[in-house]
Amino acid sequence: MVLLMALAISAPALEAQQVDAYFGFGQLPSHGPSPHLDGPFADFGVNVFLNKQFGVGWQAAWRWVSGDYADMKYDTTFQTFDGIFQPSILRTKRVSPEIRAGLGFNKVHFQFDDQQSCDQVSGCPNSHFFQGHVAGAARIYLSEHIFVRPAVDVHYVPQFHLFGSSWAPRYSVSFGYTFGRE
């Protein structure tokens, strides 16, 4: 939240050409061995573009329904800070593609009834992981400022031993608003 406020306050000082905010829902499909990191995720993000092609962004995706893991429930959150490139050759009045790459972190929180269950899982009750992130998205404008944003995100979380795979692909659709669009 502090980052969101800092971006909003500093955007005019940076002479941002455009600021986007979006919220939506997505899915992390089952992959790798069991237990799976999958399920429904909520999405929230902010982009600040310094010119028509380059910007920076922050986004968070969190599992809004607890998942099952070894007789416990878990919640997880991905947060990323990205550089964003909008290829001008593909940009039109109604469609603005995004290519994103950045770094961030993942947090896994376990909910358990007895300490013995938690003791059986490495990293319980909370685990924090560094991650790399790449994504492709497109803002499809329904009006001058309102857009729908389908996206494919790929999180690479080294040593993500809890779920048996370092890769976590996520698909989402968000709705948003653009401030300062030409």
Backbone phi, psi, residue 117, to 5°: -60, -45
* Alpha-carbon separation of residue 123 from 22, 41, 147, 157, 161 (angstroms): 32, 22, 39, 15, 10
For 25, the token pair is 């829902």
Give pairs for 120-128: CB < 8 Å, separation 24+: 120/70, 121/69, 121/70, 121/72, 121/162, 122/161, 122/162, 123/161, 123/162, 124/72, 127/162
Residues 81, 58: contact at Cβ < 8 Å?
A: yes
Instruction: List b or e across 24-47, with b for residues whose CB sees 16 or more CB atoms inside 10 angstroms.
Output: bebebeeeeeebbbbbebbbbbbb
Q: What is the pLDDT of residues 123-136, one digit of tens each?
A: 777 888 899 999 99
Residue 102 binned pLDDT confidence (cut-offs 50, 70, 90): very high
Q: Which residues pair with 177 in a beta bridge?
A: 21, 146
Model confidence over 162-180: pLDDT tens digits?
777 888 899 999 999 999 8
Residue type for position 4: L
Rounded average pLDDT over 37-52? 91
Number of domains in the chain: 1
What pTM was estimated for this model as a whole?
0.82
Instruction: Tell whether the model's pLDDT for residue 5 goes beyond 60.
Output: no
Domain that residue 123 falls in: 2-179
d(CA 91, CA 104): 27
Question: What separation, in Å, do the N-terminal and C-terminal C-alpha atoms of the chain show?
Answer: 27
- Domain of 69: which CATH number? 2.40.160.20
